[in-house]
C-alpha cells in the first residue's frame, strides 16, 4: 500500500504509543508525515520505540506519562505545545484490561478503582488538556479508544466494560460541546485485537470473545491503524461523536 502525506506538518499525540495498537497507529501517522509525541508509562519501551521511529526517519519525541495523573498529563501536553506550538491530532490508546473471568461479586473494589483511574479518568484528563490547546487554533482531531465491551458488556470484565462504556459517553458529550468548531471527537470500539495485552486475558475469556466474532479471528493492529488514521484525517470532516466499530462483524448496533 502506498503511503501518502496526509499528516505532513501535523503534530500528533499518541498515548500508549510505545507498544501494541498505539505503536501501530503512531507508526502509520509518522510514515504519513506527522510529528509524533508518544506518551507511555513504560520508560524502556517508550525510549526503544522513539529510537526505532527515528531510524525510520520519523520525528518522534518520548514523554514518560502516567495518564491517570492530572499533573503529569497537564505537564506533558504543555511540553508538546511548547515544542511544536500546536496539537493537531490526539489518539488516546492507553489503557489496561484488569481482571478477567471474574464475577462482579468477586471483583475487588481496588481493581475497579484502578480500571476507572486509568481507562476513564485518564481519558477525561488527556481529552481535557488537549482540547485546551486545540481551542487556540480552533482545529483538531481527537480519537478515543472505547471497546465492544463498552457497547455490549463482557461478563467477567465488569471494570473494563464499565470504564469503556464511560468513554463512549465522554465521546458523545464532548463532541457535542465542540460541534460548531473544526475540532472533531470520535471513538473507536475494537473487538479482540492481537496484542501483548491479550497475554493478561484468561484463555476462557479470550475464547468467549473470539467466539462472538463472525469472522472467527482476532483483528490486527495494522487494521486498527488504517481505520484510526482515516478517522483523524482531514478527509473525515463531517463525523463527530461517533463510535466506529472494528469488530469482524460482532457489532450489532
Active-site amino acid positions: 160
Question: Coil, strand, or helix at residue 80?
Answer: helix
Q: What span, in angstroms and rounded, lies between the C-alpha atoms of 224 and 142? A: 15
- What are the counts of helices (DSSP H) followed by strands (DSSP E) for the chain? 9, 7
Rg over CA atoms, the chain? 17
CB 184 within 8 A of CB 80: no
Q: What span, in angstroms and rounded, lies between the C-alpha atoms of 59 and 80? A: 13
Beta strands in 31-147 (DSSP E): 35-40, 60-64, 89-92, 139-145
Q: What is the phi-psi region of residue 98: left when phi exceeds 0, alpha when psi lies from -120 to 50, beta otherwise?
A: left
Q: What span, in angstroms and rounded, lies between the C-alpha atoms of 153 and 75? A: 34
Q: What is the phi-psi region of residue 69: left when phi exceeds 0, alpha when psi lies from -120 to 50, beta otherwise?
A: beta
CB 39 within 8 A of CB 17: yes
Amino acid at each position: 500500500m502506498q503511503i501518502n502525506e496526509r499528516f505532513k506538518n501535523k503534530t500528533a499525540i499518541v498515548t500508549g504509543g510505545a507498544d501494541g495498537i498505539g505503536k501501530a497507529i503512531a507508526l502509520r501517522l509518522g510514515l504519513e508525515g506527522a510529528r509524533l509525541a508518544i506518551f507511555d508509562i513504560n520508560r524502556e519501551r517508550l525510549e526503544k520505540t522513539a529510537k526505532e521511529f527515528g531510524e525510520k526517519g520519523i520525528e518522534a519525541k518520548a514523554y514518560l506519562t502516567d495518564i491517570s495523573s492530572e499533573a503529569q498529563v497537564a505537564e506533558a501536553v504543555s511540553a508538546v505545545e511548547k515544542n511544536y506550538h500546536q496539537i493537531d491530532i490526539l489518539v488516546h490508546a492507553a489503557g489496561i484490561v484488569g481482571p478477567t473471568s471474574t464475577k462482579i461479586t468477586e471483583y475487588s473494589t481496588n481493581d475497579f478503582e484502578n480500571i476507572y483511574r486509568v481507562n476513564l479518568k485518564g481519558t477525561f484528563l488527556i481529552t481535557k488538556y488537549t482540547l485546551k490547546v486545540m481551542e487556540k487554533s480552533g482545529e483538531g482531531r481527537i480519537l478515543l479508544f472505547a471497546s465492544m465491551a463498552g457497547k455490549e458488556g463482557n461478563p467477567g470484565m465488569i471494570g473494563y466494560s464499565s470504564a469503556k462504556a464511560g468513554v463512549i459517553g465522554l465521546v458523545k458529550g464532548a463532541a457535542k460541546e465542540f460541534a460548531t468548531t473544526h475540532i472533531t471527537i470520535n471513538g473507536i470500539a475494537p473487538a479482540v485485537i492481537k496484542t501483548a495485552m491479550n497475554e493478561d486475558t484468561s484463555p476462557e475469556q479470550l475464547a468467549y470473545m473470539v467466539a462472538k466474532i463472525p469472522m472467527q479471528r482476532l483483528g490486527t493492529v495494522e487494521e486498527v491503524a488504517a481505520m484510526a488514521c482515516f478517522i483523524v484525517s482531514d478527509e473525515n470532516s463531517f463525523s463527530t461523536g461517533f463510535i466506529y466499530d472494528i469488530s469482524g462483524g460482532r457489532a450489532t448496533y
